Structure 1
Amino acid sequence: MMARIIFHVDLNSFYASVEQAYNPELKGKPIAIAGNPKERRGIIVTSSYEARAKGIYTTMNVSEARRKCPDIILLPPDFPKYRQASKAMFTILRSYTDLVEPVSIDEGYMDVTNNSSDQHPIDLAKEIQLRIYNELDLPCSIGIAPNKFLAKTASDMKKPMGITILRKRDVPDKLWPLPVIEMHGVGESTAKKLASLKIHTIGELAHIEERVIQQALGKNGVRLKARANGQDSRVVDPNAIYETKSVGNSMTLPVDETDMKTLEKTFEKLAGKVAERLDVKKLCGSTISIQIRDASWHNHTRSKTFQNPIYHQNVIFEEALKLFRKAWDGEPIRLLGITVSNVIDRKQSVEQLSIFNFEDYAKQEPIYELIDQIERKFGKGAIQKGIELDKKQSFASKTSFSKDFFEDLKE
């Protein structure tokens, strides 16, 4: 097979850079995008490199940020502005190839293997980087590699405005000595499981027996071992933006909460938002997950998979609450979240008959027989059981800001 040339383009300190592009007076100053400082949502979303140099980091509380950097400039998020900048960036990328896959609002992959310009990949990357900077006033880093994993890893190696090539032959020297937690796809929970197997570096993960890692982490373990060896067969898929894999919502509580009634009300609100989003997108899902973040910032997740897909608010609420009651140890809660995953179009879902829903189907059987008779006489589709109307999206029905910008790119 011909080696692929994959770019990973990552806009640096995106929200802060957009603000500096719109207001040049902010350039060179420590700025940060944050929520409402009066609430617990008042945490740093992102910050400029000038702010990072003074110890400001994402998720830091606003009050702590002000103590560390008294002259920090705090700005509220301006989502329409960020969506416009993101769309403009992807327009530039698509002027070079149709094989562009957005993965979030500020990053995406390009497959430039068959680029018609015949430029050297480094020269092409420099041209793209300069266009984004000159036309949008936004800095970006670009990773160049034969696959998506290595390209993503490479783009993180030099920021801001870096261009890095990472080949498979570079993996033993550049990746294997690194702690496994620094590898894309490995979070704290996975790192702890790997540590129990005495795997602390990417190199140790690369050399673990496949049988052992599969037994410990399943398919994900086998996938991580392959990535640790620089292997990744995923293609750059422009149609990936049309695939919704999950719908979820989370909420940071105003104070660390232990009152069960308050926590129940929070779950009820979350279930309502998730149900509305599923309704607007005409989706249903077979797995529900909850996220619990305690006052010490420890994250806990629990999930349940159903035989039949779900989408009703009351079902989502009840099942999420059951999972929470089993998982909660009484510690104060900082954040709660609900996600419905393994989603499919409701038209594609086929509810399996059971002793619980058989009677409902039996009641509808005469209706289906009447429809069949009419269709045999007048043709398929002559009559339908109901009329499906498109529902207008509200702000609450957005899946999440980081994902809903995909809608802009489908136009």
Structure 2
Amino acid sequence: MERWILHCDCNSFYASVELLSRPELRQKPVAVCGDPESRHGIILAKNEPAKAMGVKTAEAIWQAKRKCPDLVLLPPHRERYVHYYKIINEIYCRFTDRVEPFSIDESWLDVSGSWQLFAQSPKALADRLRAEVHGATGLTVSVGVSFNKVFAKLGSDYKKPDATTLITRENFKDILWPLPARDMLFVGRSAAEKLAGMGISTIGDLAAADEKALAAALGKLGHTLSRYARGLDDAPVRLWGEKEPVKSVGSGRTFPHDLVTAAEVHSALWALSDEVAARLRRHGVWAGAVQLTVRDASLKTITRQARLPMSTHLARDLADAAWRLMQANWREGEPVRMLTVTAQGITEEPAAVQQSFYEDAPRPDPRREKLEQSLDAIRGKYGKGAIGAGSILRKDLGLGRLSMEEKGGDEDDERAKGPL
């Protein structure tokens, strides 16, 4: 049986949702952005008129306004996006049980065994889905239809907004191979630069390149991209509700003001590590490595990683590792705009520690484990701000306030579950 995979991508999702309640702005350039006063001043989404003016997602607001002085800025409302996420994916689930969200506004559907029940062809089913989503929500969707997930994703990006693109075994070389290599899934800026250095500028070049050479330049990603470009992706679409294995857990903040002292930076790293550790424990997993991302006042960003001496889900271990990375890559007084702490090397059980004849091997700390579990219990009853490190009190780091306001009720339970 031939595989038929759909990739459904809501067009300008955040902006489109906001414009449902602001129809008078539809013909004007509009962008959804973070709070400029809190320095979360980047573009999160833009509508088609703003896109036509060169406004790009993730650029600073001042850059966007320089391109488009009349740009209308709207604040984000995550609860609205979650509401429409649920409605749209409920529609998808009427046609197949294999619905795998890729983000809050994108989902893959495997309709291999069901499309005949609803339409004359997989492409016709994609058109029907677009119509049903628009009828139920007022939002438009672009759909890629293909024989694997990667090509379906490229198809949904190929023509926007509100379009269906069919990519088959017969036409994919004509449609996809002329596209820039950077359009391939998982090709970021660094990978695109390395590919360009190898003389690879299109997806067709990527398909024709020597796989061993790609692996030598890009590691495991090189093998993956070679297979993707040649149409050999065979990854399944997960069942709706089937959880993806946790690969990393991170928390980051852009601060209200630049951090310049060691005390400020250390407090921020501790608070971020505490949040990451709590999420690790909630998922029942352990981290084997830590990644630190630092952005300075000029928006230059560096990323550094380090393996941990033993698996952990404790804030102290993550914070200590993040602080060591910070000390090795930062001089006190240099302004820090943003920090992110990410736990990597995730496992469902703590990894075994190699013993040594010459020195004591790192050991778990049962007392610390019990303490942090107690913090989880307090936060579960009174809210995330009920207890925290004393070092963040009275510091304007944008890390939240401590308070003893009891949480409870259906609204909090529903928000805690979340769809993502």
Q: Report the TM range for the smaller structure's normalisation.
A: 0.7 to 0.9
Q: In the TM superposition, what whole-angstrom CA distance separates every residue of 1:205-241 from its partner, at most 9, and x where no partner exists? A: 2122222222222221111111111220100012553
Shift of 1:320: 1.1
Cα deviation digits, residues 381-411 of structure 1 (max 9, x gap):
xxxxx9x9797395689xxxxxx9994449x
Aligned partner of 2:312 in structure 1 is 310
Q: Whose relative contact order is higher, 1 or 2, with alpha carbons under 8 Å and at least 6 apart? A: 1
Q: Distance in 2 between matches of 1:396 and 1:29?
A: 40
Deviations 1:215-268 (A, max 9, x none): 222221111111111220100012553532221011123455554443333222
Give the TM-score normalised by structure 2: 0.80
- What residue in structure 2 maps to residue 208 of structure 1? 209
Q: 2:343 matched to which residue of 1?
A: 340
TM-superposed CA distance for 1:274, in Å, is 1.2
Of 123-132 and 161-170, more deviation after overlay is shown by: 161-170
What's the counterpart of residue 361 of structure 2? 356
- Separation in structure 2 between the aligned mates of residue 359 and residue 38 of structure 1, nearest angstrom: 43
Which runs of at least 4 in structure 1 moved beyond 6 Å after TM superposition? Answer: 358-361, 388-391
Worse overlay, 333-342 or 98-107: 333-342
CA RMSD of aligned residues (A): 3.1
2:353 touches 2:361 (CA, 8 Å); kept in 1? Answer: no
Shift of the 306–170 alpha-carbon distance from structure 1 to 2, 3 Å rule, reads farther
**Counterpart among 376, 384, 392 of residue 380 in structure 2:** 392
Secondary structure at the aligned position of 1:168 is classed as coil
Alpha-carbon contact 1:102-1:241 (below 8 Å) kept = no
Where does structure 1 lack aligned partners over 5 or more consecutive residues?
364-385, 398-403
Matching residue of 1:252: 254
Matched with 1:181 is 182
Residue matched to 1:272: 274
Q: Residues 301 and 106 of structure 1: is their aligned pair in 2 closer, same or farther, counting only changes over 3 Å? A: same
Q: Could you tell me how far apart the structure 2 residues matched to 1:55 and 1:246 are?
A: 33
User: In the alignment, what sits opposite 1:369?
Assistant: none
2: CA distance between counterparts of 1:27 and 1:3?
Answer: 41
Alpha-carbon separation, structure 1, partners of 2:152 and 2:416? 21
Do residues 122 (structure 1) and 127 (structure 2) align?
no
AA matched with 2:227:
A
**Equivalence for 2:170:** 169
Cα 1:305–1:357 shift into 2, 3 Å: closer
Cα distance in structure 2, aligned partners of 1:211 and 1:308: 33
Residue 126 of structure 1, CA deviation: 0.8
Cα distance in 2 between the residues matched to 1:50 and 1:20 = 13
Range that drifts further, 130-139 or 53-62? 53-62
Does the Cα contact within 8 Å between 1:5 and 1:112 map onto a contact in 2?
Answer: yes
CA distance in 1, matches of 2:11, 2:335: 35
Residue segments in structure 2 that go unaligned for 5+ positions in a row? 368-373, 387-413
Q: Relative to 1, partners in 2 of residues 1:199 and 1:37: Cα closer, same or farther, differing over 3 Å?
A: same
1:81-120: per-residue Cα shift (whole Å, max 9, x none)? Answer: 1101101110000011001001110001000011133531
Q: How many residues are matched?
A: 377
1:42-121 alignment runs, 5 A limit: 42-115=41-114, 116-121=117-122
The structure 2 residue matched to 1:288, chosen from 266, 290, 312, is 290
Counterpart for residue 148 of structure 2: 147
Tell me whether 36-45 or 167-176 shows the greater mean CA deviation.
167-176
- The residue that corresponds to 1:376 in the other structure is none
Quote the Cα distance in structure 2 between the aligned partners of 1:139 and 1:186.
26
Which residue number in structure 2 is paired with residue 377 of structure 1?
Answer: none
**C-alpha separation between the residues in 2 aligned to 1:48 and 1:122?**
26
Q: Which moved more, 1:327-336 or 1:228-237?
A: 327-336
